[in-house]
Amino acid sequence: MDLLRVEGLKAGYKGLNVLWDVGLAVKKNSIVSIIGSNGSGKTTLLNAIMGLIDVTEGNVIFKGMRINDLKPQERIGLGLSFVPSERELFPQMTVEDNLILGAYTPRARKHMKKSLKEIYDFFPVLGERSKQLAGTMSGGEQQMLAIGRALMSRPELLILDELSTGLAPAITVKIYRKLEGLSERMTVLLAEQNIHQAFMVSDYIYVLENGRIVASGKPDELSESTLIKSAYLGVKA
Ligand SMILES: Nc1ncnc2c1ncn2[C@@H]1O[C@H](COP(=O)(O)OP(=O)(O)O)[C@@H](O)[C@H]1O
Ligand SMILES: [Mg+2]
């Protein structure tokens, strides 16, 4: 079953269209990556899926329902959750208070204690540092916190934008390994410029170039040259 489907999507910013006829499908309990060079439109696509920008044409379909007209909070209520590339934590608040902020939908609030425990089991460092200020955590720990906060809404689809940005390769690998474990319980859609990580964990990959999907397939179906050209050089394969 497709948990998420995007059909014929056209979207962008005032006076600048970025995405052209973008289509993709994300099967339940899979990990799907969108890869592409800087400026190819990855963040714009995730923003459109989350309802953070308007769509001019096409459909965003979640659990069989067209959600184009829903606000971001309503999409979170339905089971979407987003980790933006800037992480957007509150540095002067504790780890735990940052996590609690992720549980603001009625359903999430009801399960807050249970969610906190699950997240502390999943990322033990967050439990050990629950009373520490978020701003004093390392980059990798902050990324775990941003993911933990997104998990507090108990999503069915976790969407992550460039989680490797600013992290040491070893930390990035560690977090990706964690995501692999998550896909038993939920579905993951991520945008990455770092193709090696995406390649390692993904069930399916879409290559975005100048706002269009130019290739897609299982990692072993996509040639390395297609991936490298698209992700790093910004030229068509
Ligand atoms: N808030 C914005 N306003 C106007 N243009 C934007 C905005 N954000 C991104 N863009 C433009 O949209 C295009 C795609 O950017 P983006 O989606 O951020 O790509 P990526 O995430 O793949 O690096 C770029 O040309 C970028 O300059
Ligand atoms: Mg981006």
User: What confidence tens digit (pLDDT) does each residue in 208-235 have?
Assistant: 999 999 999 999 888 766 666 666 655 4
Quick check: is 28 in a domain?
yes
Distance in Å from the first CA to the final CA of the chain: 30
**Residue of the nearest CA to atom 7 in ligand 1?**
13
Quick check: is 30 in a domain?
yes
**What pLDDT does residue 236 have?**
42
Which residues, 6 or more positions from 188, have their beta carbon under 8 angstroms from its beta carbon? Answer: 30, 31, 32, 157, 158, 159, 160, 179, 182
**Rounded Cα distance, 99 and 159, in Å:** 17
Residue with tokens 């933006």: 84
| 133-161: pLDDT as tens digits | 999 999 999 999 999 999 999 999 999 99
Quick check: is 117 in a domain?
no
The mean predicted confidence, pLDDT, of the chain is 92
For 216, the enclosing helix (H) or strand (E) is: strand 212-217
**What pLDDT does residue 198 have?**
86
- From ligand 1's centre to the CA of 30, what distance in Å? 27
Region of poorest pLDDT, from 29-33, 184-188, 218-222? 218-222
Candidate from 44, 194, 213 with most ligand 1 atoms within 8 A of CB, to mutate = 44
The predicted model gives 43-58 an average pLDDT of 97
Q: Domain of 210?
A: 1-72+188-237
Quick check: is 156 in a domain?
no
**Rounded Cα distance, 193 and 163, in Å:** 10
The predicted model gives 187-210 an average pLDDT of 92
Domain count along the chain: 1
Q: Please say if the pLDDT value at position 100 is more than 90.
A: yes
CATH number of the CATH domain containing 30 = 3.40.50.300
Quick check: is 204 in a domain?
yes
